[in-house]
A = this chain, B = another copy of it.
């Protein structure tokens, strides 16, 4: 599982401060999460293949999280894309995008499928053989969701030495991977756990931006491997955090600690800060390990 940060600054884009957008590669899926203005150029910069993106998740309808979406959809069209594109985001997103496509006389050759969200409870919004995506209801100035990406439990791993020793026919390998006991060539019952090993532990990633400090998300993201949590401010500006429904680095670290996250990545920095290392220092007082997001940075789990 690999997360690439395309942008992680809040509010207004600047020459070297790109707005929220990330690419998550997980079990052959390439998910785009949020899409601030200029995201398509960042995708090119970091060499993400456009046609591998089939699902886009939008947290909320503040511009710094989705004003780049309509341009990306238009570019997909100009690149003569034919693959379906699924977009998950708050109610209203379909109207915004289709209105602009209509006014430009720009209908797509591919299916543009909107999955509009309005529930205040966590819900399963995407599932395939290997991955699930759940919403994480956040508390912000407008309706907002984070997203929890979870690998499913994989198949058991064959212990080839034990299998050959036990004289098991190749026809049973699939059953073994699925956890079943089998009969070997000599008619003996072979217990599954004696010839297979447990699958790799499924990985998970939680994206939580934007939100005020809320412990309501802790049960949803419990034991997550990688947690991206917004920290727009440092504690010295905590008086700005609550009114604007944002968090400080310390608050983000508190959530990571409560949720027993394996790793915390901070992001959504206000452009007022020049030295982002202060975010690490502040968070580390509560929780380790912690890192800060930066455009182009890759986190591998």
Residue ranges of A at the interface with B (Cβ–Cβ < 8 Å): 11-15, 37-38, 40-41, 44-45, 61-63, 67-68, 70-71, 74-75, 78-79, 90, 92, 95-96, 99-100, 103-106, 141-142
Contacts and interface: CB of A to CB of B under 8 A. Distances in A.
Nearest to A50: B12
A105 B45 CA distance: 32
A71 B41 contact: no
A63 B13 contact: no
A62 B101 CA distance: 9
A99 B95 contact: yes
Given A78-B12, A79-B12, A63 B141 contact: no
Contacts of A70: 63, 67
A41 B44 contact: no
A63 B67 contact: no
Nearest to A99: B96
Given A37-B38, A78-B11, A104 B61 contact: yes
17 contacts: A11-B78, A12-B75, A12-B78, A13-B40, A14-B41, A14-B44, A37-B37, A38-B41, A61-B104, A62-B104, A62-B106, A63-B74, A63-B100, A67-B71, A67-B100, A96-B99, A96-B100
